[in-house]
Chains A and B, each alone.
Chain A
Amino acid sequence: MIAKLVWRNITGKPFRFLLTCSAVTVGVMFTVGVFVFTDGLRSTFDDLAGDIEGNVDYAVRTQLDFGDRDLTAGLIDPELDAVLASVPGVAATQPVIQNPFCCAPTDGNGELQQAATGPNLGLNWEDKRLDSRYFLIEGSEPSGPDQFVLDQDTFENGEFELGGTYSISMPTGPNDYELVGTFFLGAPDRNALVGAIAVAFKTSTALSDLYLGFGYYRIDFELEDGADEASVLAAVTAILPSNGELVTGDEILAEREESFGNVVNNFRVFLLVFAFIVLLVSAFVIFNVFTILIGQRIRELGLLRAIGASGRQITWALIGEAGLVGIVAMVAGTGLGIGLGWSLRWLLSILDFGPDSNELVLTPTTFIFGAVVGIGVTMASAIAPALRARRISPMAALREDARLTQYVPPRTLALGIPFVALAAVLIVVAISSDNWQNVIVLGPIAAIANAFGWKRINAIAGQYATLALGLVLLVATLVLDMGTGAVLSLLGVAAATLFLGVNGVSPRLAQPVASFVGRWPLAILLGIMGVVVTLLSLAGFVGVLFLVGVSVKDLITDFDAAGVAALVGCIALFGFVYLVFRVGVRAVDASFIMGWRWTQVLAGIGVFVIGAIGAIAALTGLAAIVAADWGATVTIPIGAVILAAAVWLRRFLPKTLKSNARMARENAGRSPRRTASAAAALMIGLALVSTATVVSSSFKATFADILENSVTADWFISSADNGPNPAFSSELANQIEQLPQVDTAIRFRFLLEAYATDFDGEVRDSSATNMRESLGHLDPDFVELNEDAIARDSIWVHEDFANDNEFTLGSTFVIRFPDQTSEAVRIDGIYSDSSIYGNRVVNLELWADHYPAGQDQFVSVTVNDGVAQEDARAALSAVTDAYPQINLDTRDEFQDRQSAQIDQFLTVISVLLLVAIIIALLGIAITLALSVLERTRELGLVRAVGMTSQQMMRMVLFEGAIIALFGGVLGVALGSVFGAAAVAVIPDDFIRTLDIPVLDMLQYLAIASVAGIGAAIIPARRAARLNVLDAISQG
């Protein structure tokens, strides 16, 4: 019977059912898409690992205790090759040289062939292996010192000819080589390079030009048929140098697969964080929708109770309905997610990243996650409203104004106190363990126990308990001394707790905030934003039409999958631009809610702008208080005065149509709980965007601060390569040093795992530079410095490192490099600003002895007095122009470049969060649509007494803007707090200056209100098209 009821409910209102499903579906789609995509990537990378490391029997190489083998491993002495070959039973030896951080060739058109998605590989041609992994396609093998072969794909993509001479960017600087052939790597019929670009040289050339003659990466060898494996391997081990090791091909392959796997895994975790956010937002939306639906069906449910259904049956009926929503969402979301994952892979393969074959990798994990997420999230979100429905009395069927009552659990101290105590204990345990996994697992459990416990101790305490816990955790992150991982995850738990806490309290804010923001300035803001958005969309139309034209032309000349995809993308873009256009027009429409004439609107804009300037000034001053920038706080009184002037000017504006806007804001505030839940979803998305904005803006501020206060160099040379190890030939700095205009040039190198300190065995990160010259370039704020003592074995350390280990100026300790050799270093300087060198810096001289093949990552230059900037630029660029992918910047240019990079990162984060924001807007749309349905009779009444359908439309649009702005205000406020907290806990060597960009935040609010218009379009149209007579006779 109950099942039948559930079924009828769904089939009776299929549209409403699908609407409910849509929010979960997107969440499931995103999660499943991430899994399918990353599983596919992993399989590709496993294949790649097999292609580039397969087919090796045994190899000798140097031992590596820590660090990245490609970056830091010691090299094998070339002499060993002959010794190894002479061991009885060894059939063939093959020295291996592979440098993944060099060797971009420039083609005949002068275009640098830089690998967009993989490494630029420099290799040696395998001439001795019995069964080579390199397959010559055209031409011949490299046999002379100035010859090279190029991978076939790059040969085809670029402008290359066999026999031509091309410049290649080598560790020794740009060099010319003759192209003699092309090859495939890994397989005879295809390239296994996954977007990498490979060049190969004769082994001796590779040794001298790629590794500067210092040694081989590895020497592979094969055994003679019938040789006794154990005794041959023993003989090989006997001839190995002390830092050498013997490994099997399987071990090498496994290492490579693991290192690729780690990359894919990190990527997956990164994406899953966003999937999790999307799901959190979906949960809010579903919770809200179910609560509203039950509220609307309360009389029907009361009737069921009256004719004998038990409360339990009602609950089960509703949970059953949620289950069906979950199942549909799971099926649809999984299907769409597989499609999403697959298309992403397809897109990548079109972009020449990965092999053309795009097999679909489906693992059971994918489906399990899809099911858990789809059904689990829906059921979990629906359970609270379903339990509340159990308490609907049979009398509800008879009462006009029946409402769902808020559940207040009975006061049970016996249950409450233990739970609160448990929460406290869990938090103390998690924090004192200083382990991020503990924090992530125990934190949420503690939050639930805390809320559960306090609710049973006292109703009001229960309401604020979660918010209070969130604040406590936030404060804990700020004052406690924990590891970075633990403190960041504690911050995450604090943020999630605060979201829930704010959501518990925000219904109290909904009414006052809605009534505060839902006034004429919002209408003016919508008008201005509407005009901007409309103009942007018109420009967008032109752009999209142009793109469509280009892609159609492409398709006509060259019909392929990429072209079709481009055209489909353009058409989708067209739809999006059209949507934006509609939103812009509607925003302008909504701005006329006040019933002002054009001239009055213009005057309103004037007053609004004055007020906005005042508000921005005042807020900027307030933000400066948080950042402890006292000089900037003078803008507070200035802003307040301007704001007061705007308020005074307001009296000259006409009165507004109060009933219209009034009804909009009253409607937004009349179901505070519903408004708060609808806004909460948006709050989460915007809070995260704001957090990212504060962090990145602080990052920029830190950078500007460093450049201004700690850097005295004039020019900066960096690599434009965005790869994992952006570095360039040290030859470049050698040439710079020779220039007559240049005073000094210093080089920087940095490794995350540079050496181990002997006294505690910890692997340390470190920088290296030309210490003596660096004093004229950089000032890390020395506490103590013994300038005269600077020598090869000097080290400068940060004061924390010195204090923690009780070192003073002149202390010595031993550090051990990955090449198994140790050096004693002496502290000749202690500094307090870690943002330049990090925690330690050693002399480049010492460093280069242990990383002989290392390249420079960064060079800074001071020019002689009296050299004009343009003269210096001419001289420097004459050198750098010969090197591809090099940026030559003045101080200002350098700062702009860094800012642009950070902005780029912020854009990526924002785009990923966009999915969550879209779901939140969908939630607002659903909430509004259901509210309109609920208020049909009231809307009919106001239409009957004279509200035009246009006014009705504006009213609902305005309500949408108010709800969205409410969520935006909460989100931006929370995001600023999170951002400030994150900046406080992130180590100072990354970010030390807090900067809250008030303008960006206000911009988010403006965008949120326009987005609210977008969410309200469909409900507003439904409201405007209501049949007046039907509406008033309803009920």
Chain B
Amino acid sequence: MTQATVTTGPAAKAVGASKFYGNGDTEVRALDDVDVEFERGKFTAIMGPSGSGKSTLMHCQAGLDTLTGGQVFIGDTDLSALSEKDLTLLRRDKVGFVFQAFNLVPTLSALENITLPMDLAGVAPDQAWLDEVINTVGLADRMGHRPNELSGGQQQRVAVSRALASRPEIIFADEPTGNVDSTTGNEILAFMKQAVDTLGQTIVMVTHDPGAAAYADRVIFLADGKIVDELLDPSAEQVIDHMKQLR
């Protein structure tokens, strides 16, 4: 993987992004004309109550889902102009993912899971960077194991490593601590924050846990498909207060 291109613009942005389901009386506006930018080298959390559109925003921003209206960009690339195949290649080369659960392919070892996107691209991983990521995640001795031989927390850490390994423009994490106990969750979040602070990675995380959001540099609040609030360098208490106001 070549060094991520250093440009000044945001790592990703949405312009007038809208996503409607159904029509007429039954129309649901999952995203309603959202404008947002995700800064390079920052850890952004997206929060909001169930049905607020936070997952939809992430899915569309990551090229997993398509918009009804507006545009989303990864770097300078307009996702709405891309074909299905190009979207896949973009996800492979420029985006990293951490899901809530079932992050790993059960038939591949931890190491093979980490290098999977690069392997699919047919490129060799940058060995020095890979070692650094694995050492940071602290699982060097578990790399030959299959996912079912790892604990839930270890699995999530492997997933974060996979997202980091190809040095994507941006990593999207969808409730990465949703399925693990709080101690493990904190470890994972700290690790993600470390990746942002020391490795310069850009991460966007969807969560409904104020404690998790407190690790972020910036929190965006969504309600009814619109961005309603924003908080910089938040603490858990501040996040809880803002969430209460949304209800």
* 14 CB-based A-B contacts, threshold 8 Å: A657-B119, A660-B119, A663-B108, A938-B105, A941-B99, A941-B103, A943-B88, A944-B91, A947-B88, A948-B92, A949-B84, A950-B85, A1032-B64, A1032-B99
Q: Is B162 an interface residue (CB 8 A)?
A: yes
Which residues does chain B contribute within 8 Å of A941, judged by CB atoms? 99, 102-105
Known: A657-B122, A951-B120. A946 touches B88 (CB 8 A): yes
8 A Cβ contacts from A669-710 to B: 670
Contact of B120 among A659, A667, A670 (CB under 8 A): A659
A945 and B102 within 8 A (CB): no
Q: In the bound complex, what is the Cα–Cα distance between A946 and B1 (angstroms)?
A: 15
Residue of A941, A944, A948, A949 with highest tally of chain B CB at under 10 A: A944
A659 and B91 within 8 A (CB): no
Q: Is A1029 an interface residue (CB 8 A)?
A: yes
- Chain B residue nearest to A945 in the complex (CB): B117
Q: In the bound complex, what is the Cα–Cα distance between A670 and B121 (angstroms)?
A: 25
Which residues does chain B contribute within 8 Å of A942, judged by CB atoms? 105, 116, 120
8 A Cβ contacts from B72-106 to A: 84-85, 88-89, 91-93, 96-97, 99, 102-106
Distance from A175 Cβ to chain B, minimum over Cβ atoms (Å): 78
Q: In the bound complex, what is the Cα–Cα distance between A666 and B109 (angstroms)?
A: 11
Distance from B79 Cβ to chain A, minimum over Cβ atoms (Å): 14
Q: Is B65 an interface residue (CB 8 A)?
A: yes
B97 and A659 within 8 A (CB): no
A666 and B107 within 8 A (CB): yes
Known: A946-B117, A1029-B59. A938 touches B102 (CB 8 A): yes
Q: In the bound complex, what is the Cα–Cα distance between A119 and B120 (angstroms)?
A: 67
The contact size tier of chain A is: 20 to 34
8 A Cβ contacts from A597-620 to B: none
Q: Is B115 an interface residue (CB 8 A)?
A: yes
B102 and A937 within 8 A (CB): yes
Q: In the bound complex, what is the Cα–Cα distance between A949 and B84 (angstroms)?
A: 9
- Chain B residue nearest to A944 in the complex (CB): B97
Which residues does chain A contribute within 8 Å of B106, judged by CB atoms? 670, 938
Q: In the bound complex, what is the Cα–Cα distance between A517 and B60 (angstroms)?
A: 40
A946 and B91 within 8 A (CB): yes
Known: A657-B122, A660-B119. A945 touches B108 (CB 8 A): no
Which residues does chain B contribute within 8 Å of A949, judged by CB atoms? 84-85, 88
Contact of A658 among B85, B88, B92, B119 (CB under 8 A): B119
Distance from A206 Cβ to chain B, minimum over Cβ atoms (Å): 80
Q: Is A1028 an interface residue (CB 8 A)?
A: yes
8 A Cβ contacts from A904-930 to B: none
B115 and A659 within 8 A (CB): yes
Q: In the bound complex, what is the Cα–Cα distance between A666 and B105 (angstroms)?
A: 11
Residue of A658, A659, A942, A1029 with highest tally of chain B CB at under 10 A: A659
Q: Is A595 an interface residue (CB 8 A)?
A: yes
Q: In the bound complex, what is the Cα–Cα distance between A949 and B88 (angstroms)?
A: 8
Q: A948-B89, A949-B85 are in contact. List 14 more A-B contacts (CB 8 A).
A: A657-B122, A660-B120, A662-B108, A663-B108, A941-B103, A941-B104, A944-B64, A945-B92, A946-B93, A947-B88, A947-B120, A949-B84, A1032-B64, A1035-B102
Q: Is B230 an interface residue (CB 8 A)?
A: no
Classify the secondary structure of B's interface with A. Answer: helix
- Chain A residue nearest to B66 in the complex (CB): A1029
Q: Is B112 an interface residue (CB 8 A)?
A: yes
- Chain A residue nearest to B65 in the complex (CB): A1029
Q: In the bound complex, what is the Cα–Cα distance between A658 and B115 (angstroms)?
A: 10
Q: In the bound complex, what is the Cα–Cα distance between A662 and B121 (angstroms)?
A: 15
Distance from A402 Cβ to chain B, minimum over Cβ atoms (Å): 15
Distance from B146 Cβ to chain A, minimum over Cβ atoms (Å): 10
Known: A945-B92, A948-B89. A659 touches B59 (CB 8 A): no
Which residues does chain A contribute within 8 Å of B119, judged by CB atoms? 657-660
Known: A659-B115, A1032-B99. A946 touches B121 (CB 8 A): yes
Distance from A791 Cβ to chain B, minimum over Cβ atoms (Å): 80
B88 and A659 within 8 A (CB): no
B108 and A659 within 8 A (CB): yes
Distance from A934 Cβ to chain B, minimum over Cβ atoms (Å): 12
- Chain B residue nearest to A654 in the complex (CB): B122
Which residues does chain B contribute within 8 Å of A657, judged by CB atoms? 119-120, 122
A666 and B108 within 8 A (CB): yes
Distance from B64 Cβ to chain A, minimum over Cβ atoms (Å): 5
Which residues does chain A contribute within 8 Å of B120, judged by CB atoms? 657, 659-660, 942, 945-948, 951
B102 and A659 within 8 A (CB): no
Residue of A666, A942, A946 with highest tally of chain B CB at under 10 A: A946
Q: In the bound complex, what is the Cα–Cα distance between A155 and B106 (angstroms)?
A: 75
- Chain A residue nearest to B124 in the complex (CB): A655
The 4 A-B pairs of least Cβ separation, nearest first, read A946-B92, A666-B107, A659-B119, A946-B117
Q: In the bound complex, what is the Cα–Cα distance between A943 and B117 (angstroms)?
A: 10
Which residues does chain B contribute within 8 Å of A947, judged by CB atoms? 88, 92, 120
